């Protein structure tokens, strides 16, 4: 027997169709959609009659993952979660507090197939994509646990969002809908390692999200060594796609650049970024590079450079007309970057 679809994976228009086919008024969709996005089970939506709730339970499942692990930073209140789904797979999420509101970093896949050398999330490969409801449920679970509203989302956890394109787009439609979580698209960032074909698809979606490009090296030889996707779409092809994305959407592009000592963090590397950007991007195009000192993981020998070296790198970019910031480290005492918590849980399962 085919497994039932989870009702939380339905977009608002799909839920309207469900009630229409059941002979129910369309306003039912608004009632149910709002309650589901806030974590209620079908049987907890008491504005519906018991017979109608029973019908929906026959048609759909309605599941939330369990919190397997919760780590809370004593330094800044950052929380790291490992959520366990009904099939035994898990995903990591991070709750971060800022002056402007609370942001959650969500995972979009169980594992990852991209093979980036510095990333713990990809070391066990890809198991499966997460459904829209499973990405949504990470936010629901965190809001329930913290008792606080989430106002921003970054799709930068485990997995490559554009490798799970259809499910991620549905998730974005759900969380931005006025009757859902109503999180503004401008408060959502999606990070990709460089799936160029999907960047062009995303440009057509009319979503005012921020696209973040995981760059991490500016020359093709280095980038191909640490990011295998560069062998399919090289630096020039990727940067051209980002330029075209900006032309289509008007949204500023952000670049993520993990600084690895002795690999990509020299003065020459910084100057090469300035040169390459000036070749491809117009001076009027707003660009931002977020510099990230590499997070050491067990599987590699990568380490960050000194603070002096990092700020020299930043200075060269800024003198070249590129806005550059060094990422603030959140939850240092709980190792808040993604991947290692899930890997340790898998080791315990085997």
With contact defined as beta carbons under 8 Å apart, do 265 and 225 qualify?
Answer: no
- Using CB atoms within 10 A of its CB, is residue 24 exposed (0-12), middle (13-18) or buried (19+)? middle
* CA 198 remoteness from chain centre: 15
Residue 136 has pLDDT above 80, yes or no: yes
In tens, the pLDDT along 263-276 reads 999 999 999 999 99
- Using CB atoms within 10 A of its CB, is residue 74 exposed (0-12), middle (13-18) or buried (19+)? exposed
In tens, the pLDDT along 182-219 reads 999 999 999 999 999 999 999 999 999 999 999 999 99
- Which residues, listed in sequence order, are joined to residue 6 by a DSSP beta bridge? 61
The confidence score (pLDDT) of residue 1 equals: 41
| Catalytic residue list contains 105 | no
- Using CB atoms within 10 A of its CB, is residue 76 exposed (0-12), middle (13-18) or buried (19+)? middle
> The tokens of 1 are what?
């027997």
Query: Which of 112-126, 242-256, 262-276 is least confident?
Result: 112-126
Instruction: Determine the number of helices (DSSP H) and then strands (DSSP E) in the chain.
Output: 11, 12
CA distance 127 to 80: 21
CA distance 265 to 270: 7
Catalytic residue, chosen from 11, 35, 92, 143, is 92
% of the chain with per-residue pLDDT over 70: 93
* For range 148-172, the mean pLDDT: 97
Residue 256 has pLDDT above 80, yes or no: yes
The confidence score (pLDDT) of residue 340 equals: 58
DSSP for 227-269? -GGGGTS-HHHHHHHHHHHHHHH-PPEEEEEEE-TTTT-SHHH
> The tokens of 156 are what?
């930068």
CA distance 347 to 90: 13
For residue 103, what are the contacts with CB-CB under 8 A and spacing of at least 6?
95, 96, 150, 151, 152, 153, 154
Catalytic residue, chosen from 62, 105, 133, 338, is 338
With contact defined as beta carbons under 8 Å apart, do 219 and 272 qualify?
Answer: yes
**Which residue, among 110, 123, 115, has the nearest Cα to 231 in the 3D structure?**
115
The confidence score (pLDDT) of residue 347 equals: 52
| Catalytic residue list contains 338 | yes
CA distance 183 to 40: 18
């Amino acid at each position: 027997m085919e497994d039932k679809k989870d009702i939380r994976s339905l977009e608002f228009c799909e839920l309207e169709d469900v009630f229409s086919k059941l002979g129910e008024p369309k306003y039912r969709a608004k009632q149910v959609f709002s309650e589901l996005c806030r974590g209620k089970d079908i049987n907890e939506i008491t504005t519906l009659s018991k017979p109608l709730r029973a019908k929906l339970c026959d048609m759909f499942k309605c599941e939330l993952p369990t919190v397997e692990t919760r780590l809370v930073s004593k330094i800044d209140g950052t929380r790291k979660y490992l959520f366990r789904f009904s099939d035994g797979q898990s995903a990591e999420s991070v709750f971060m507090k800022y002056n402007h509101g609370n942001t959650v970093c969500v995972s979009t896949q169980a594992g990852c197939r991209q093979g980036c050398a510095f990333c713990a999330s990809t070391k066990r490969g890809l198991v499966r994509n997460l459904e829209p409801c499973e990405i949504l449920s990470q936010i629901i679970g965190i809001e329930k646990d913290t008792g606080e509203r989430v106002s921003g989302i970054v799709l930068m956890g485990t997995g490559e969002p554009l490798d799970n394109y259809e499910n991620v787009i549905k998730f974005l439609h759900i969380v931005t809908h006025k009757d859902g979580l109503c999180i503004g698209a401008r408060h959502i960032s999606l990070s990709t390692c460089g799936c160029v074909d999907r960047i062009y698809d995303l440009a057509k979606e009319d979503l005012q999200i921020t696209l973040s490009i995981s760059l991490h090296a500016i020359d093709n030889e280095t980038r191909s060594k640490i990011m295998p996707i560069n062998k399919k779409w090289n630096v020039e092809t990727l940067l051209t796609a980002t330029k075209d994305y900006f032309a289509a959407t008007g949204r500023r592009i952000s670049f993520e650049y993990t600084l690895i000592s002795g690999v990509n963090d020299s003065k020459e590397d910084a100057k090469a970024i300035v040169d390459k950007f000036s070749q491809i991007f117009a001076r009027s195009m707003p660009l931002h590079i977020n510099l990230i000192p590499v997070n050491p993981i067990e599987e590699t020998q990568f380490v960050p450079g000194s603070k002096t070296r990092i700020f020299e790198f930043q200075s060269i970019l800024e003198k070249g007309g590129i806005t550059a910031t060094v990422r603030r480290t959140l939850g240092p005492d709980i190792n808040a970057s993604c991947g290692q918590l899930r890997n340790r849980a898998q080791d315990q399962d085997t």
